Structures are given as structure tokens and as C-alpha cells.
Amino acid sequence: MSTVDSSPPDVPGYLLHTVLGEGGSSVVWSAVDAAGVPVAVKVPRPGCDVDGDPAAAERQVLAAVRHPHLVALRDVVGLPDARTALVFDRVTGASLRSMVRARGQLRPGETVTILTPICQAVAALHAAGALHADISPGNIMLTADGRPLLLDLGAARLMGQTEAAWGTSGFIAPELRDGAGPTSASDVFSLGAVAWFCLTGNGAPDTAQRLDPDTVRSHVGPELADVISASIDPDPGARPDAARLARLVYEAVQPESIEVVMGDDDASALTHRLRAEAALEPPAAPRGRRRRIRRSAVVAGLVAGVLLGGGCWFLVSRPLAPAGATPGRGEGTTARPGGAVVQQMSPTRSGTVPAQDDPAAPQHRTMELLQWLSDQRARALVDRATDRLSAVHRSGSASHASDVRLIEALEAGGHRYADLRLSVAEASWVSGDAEHATVRARVDWSAYTVVDRTGARRGHPAASGELLDFELRWDGSAWRIEHISDAGSS
């Protein structure tokens, strides 16, 4: 039975409806923002937002790092009674914990497909000087579109903080059980324990002794035994870092598509698992009617392959920028209601010289130039035509190589895109000269279909892209993309 008052709290700018989940210190509510967009709002219980503001570390971490496999923080709202509410993207899917409990265990290739991007997300946290500090199957979700997502940064803290750690039994590093402070190595132990769970249905053995290799293989099988052994080594210094672990996992076994089994509770909007005390086992998910979803093999190919490569400006979406935000607004741009930046076309140039052939296009025809490049890219992807990518990317560039790998992965899996369109939602000039230019843009994509070699079709929803910096190079006759990075990071 819920311990939450039936009346939702007043969070300015949001209309709260029903409880998604609750814990000892916080409650997560289903809500919508002023534009009607579904969100999840985490509200501390009265008296819990004290002692130096426990939400501060979470906000600091989420503000410092954005990653397609980390749940995204949308807003931070101060409440009238001095508590702080956190507003997150609302996502739908199956938790790894309930999925494995429903199936018993996953195959090694499925484990690779889930664990590789989660390791990358943790590596991004570590690179930003932060820790997750409570990695467990209940904090990992496979979203409705097949994307592994790491949830619940409620235990997150900056590296060097030494207070007692939260955690979930079976996924806590032995040094933490002995009273040491959390480190990046303790996060890696948890990742190894998650892999153990995927393959066995149980957390890692609660022992401070190094396990015999034959013992590990007898539990998890031969494919990932060496990687898991290194990850859960009782000596923190012997564990690989998270970035290396992602590579080791990916190289150990061929990724494969995931059979998702989820109950009705998972089908609801689950966003942010609330922490329990380290000594408590998280409550079991209610049993419900099971639904089976077989993800196309393209999930394995893209999640474990393309997302490793970077430089891709779709299929790795991030939420829209907050309303009113116009990052990088420069000469030749204007703002629409809601904060989208729109390029004003120069009447003396537009319609005379194609944007890609106009030396001044990055500054004066930004939107037109990025849209042309996006159109060419979409056509090349739909037709799986690597030769057409030369019209989009500078030959030999990282962005060119990334799209070549994407097309090769589609061909190898017998898949193709249909009805795919890319649309430049905002674009602005940042800097440049006669040969180089940097423009900032967000490219969204339409609803599209993935068709397999049998002709079976699977629809995917439209979504917004992330705000990226596109570094362009003038080759003497036209502009081409040379490099793509997070906005403001280059």
C-alpha cells in the first residue's frame, strides 16, 4: 500500500498525477509540463531534503554529463517549503532486474548488448569526476525503443566524497562493505556483478576472496568469465576502468538481439528507481501479465556497435533544450516561440547558389546548409549507399567512418531504413574562416521503419536529436562535415 498522501504536491510549472514509485526519502510522480509533455518528478519527503541538500550531488552530476544511456534531468524546481524537486524525462520499458527474474537468465550476447553501453555511460560519469555508487539491475532499464538506460543517480556523488555508500546487496564492492568510500573501481565491481546477474539470475558472491577461474566459469559460462573475474576482483586496483570494461565486454562475444519479457508494472512509465537502505533487498516487482517483445537484431548492431563509434547525429537522441534556451545564437538567426533558433536566409544569396557551394553559407545560410547535408545523409542511409556519403562528410573524417560503419552494420544484419527524414530544428553560426566553420545545430528525425531481410517491418517513433557542434571544411568547391561533437565541447 502506498504511504503517499493521495493529493500530489504543488510543483510550479508541472501538473502531477499519480505515483510511479516511492522510497524512504522520496516519491516519484507521473506529471506533465506546461506544454503537456510527460515527465517524472522526484519529490523528497518532508524533512528529507536536509543535511547539505542530498539532491545537490545528483544535480551536479547530471548537469556535468549528458549521455544517451543515462536518464536525463530536465529541470530543478524549488518548492515553497525549501525542498527541491527534480524533473526527469519519463521513459517506458522493462527493468533488467524484473526481465531477468522473468526469464531466469540472459544469453551472453544479450548481456553484451545491454552491458556495453551501460559501461560507456558509467565511463562518462567517471570522466566528469563523478560516481554512480548504486549500479544494480533495478537501476538499468531497456526502454521501449530498445535502448539500455542507467537510472537513479540518487546515490551519486563526486569522486573523493567519503561518506557511507548506498548500494544493493549482491552488487556492492567488498571494500565498501568494509567501510571504505566509493570509487570508480567500486562502480566497476557493480558492473561486473550486473553481468553475473544477467547470466545467472543472482548477484555476485558475497566474498572478499578472489574466485577461482573454474568457479567463475561454472557459474557464468566461458564467454564472459575472464571479463567478469577481472571486474569483481577483490583488489580494486586489479579491475579495469569502465571505458576499458566496455571494450572488453564488446570484444568478448558477438552482440545479439534481446528478448524482452516484462510485466504490466514495467509497461508503465518507470523513470527513477528510489534507493533503499544498503541492507534491504529492493521490493519484488508485482506479478502481472507478461508481454514478450522480440527486438530486431538491429538493436544489437546499433546499440553495441554504432553507439560505440560516436559522430552519429541520429539514433542517439537527447531531449529538447529547455524552453527559451537559444544556445550559440549568432548573426543571422532569430528565435521562434519555445526557443528554437531559425536561420534567416539572405535574400541576395538564397536561390542563386546552392548552399553547399556557397563559401558564406555556414554563417549566412546555416539552416539551409545543414538541411541539405542532412537530406543527403538520410538518402544515403535509406539506400545503404556508402559512396553517397562523400557528399556529406569529408573523406577520411571520423563522421564519414561512423556512417560507413552504420551502413555496413545494416547490410550485415539484412536491415534497411524506410521513410527516414532528418529535419534541422535549429541552427546557428559559431565561428570560422574561409576554410573552416563551426555551426551549432539540432537535427530531429521523423518516424521511420526498419525492414528486415524477410520484409518484416518495425516502426520507430519520431524523436528530437541532441544539440551538436558541426565542424565543416571547405574543399574548394563545397562544404563537408569534418567532425561532430557535443555543443560547446570543442
Domain contains 328: no
Tell me how far apart the alpha carbons of residues 50 and 323 are, in angstroms, rounded to a whole number: 30
Cell representation of residue 145: 525503443
Count of structural domains within the chain: 3
Mean of per-residue pLDDT scores for the chain? 75
The answer to whether 113 touches 256, Cβ cutoff 8 Å, is yes
Domain contains 326: no
Residues 276, 372, single domain; the answer is: no
CATH of residue 55's domain is 3.30.200.20
Residues 33, 105, single domain; the answer is: no
What's the Rg (C-alpha) of the chain?
23
The pTM for the full model equals 0.53
- The one-letter amino acid code at 285 reads A
pLDDT single digits (tens) 370-414: 999 999 999 999 999 999 999 999 988 888 888 888 888 788 888
Residues 59, 77, single domain; the answer is: yes
**Domain limit, last residue, from 71, 89, 107:** 89
- The one-letter amino acid code at 364 reads H
- The one-letter amino acid code at 32 reads V
Cell representation of residue 177: 562493505
Full residue range of the structural domain in which residue 433 is found: 333-486
Query: E-strand spans in 37-136?
Result: 38-44, 73-78, 84-89, 93-95, 130-131
Give the relative orientation of helices 213-220 and 184-200 as an angle to the nearest 10 degrees: 50
- The neighbouring-strand residues paired with 371 are none
Residues 177, 251, single domain; the answer is: yes
**Domain limit, last residue, from 60, 89, 118:** 89
Give the relative orientation of helices 96-103 and 184-200 as an angle to the nearest 10 degrees: 30
Cell representation of residue 72: 536525463
**Domain limit, last residue, from 45, 63, 89:** 89
| Average pLDDT of the residues in 178-193 | 92
Residues 151, 59, single domain; the answer is: no
CATH of residue 394's domain is 3.10.450
Give the relative orientation of helices 366-383 and 398-413 as an angle to the nearest 10 degrees: 30
pLDDT single digits (tens) 49-75: 543 454 555 565 566 677 888 887 778
pLDDT single digits (tens) 254-287: 888 887 665 444 433 333 232 222 222 333 333 3
Domain contains 321: no
Residues 398, 465, single domain; the answer is: yes
Residue 148 has phi, psi (to 5 degrees) of -65, 135
User: Could you count the other beta carbons within 10 Å of the beta carbon of residue 33?
Assistant: 17
Domain contains 323: no
DSSP label at residue 46: T
Residues 101, 183, single domain; the answer is: yes
Domain contains 9: no
For residue 195, what pLDDT is reported?
97
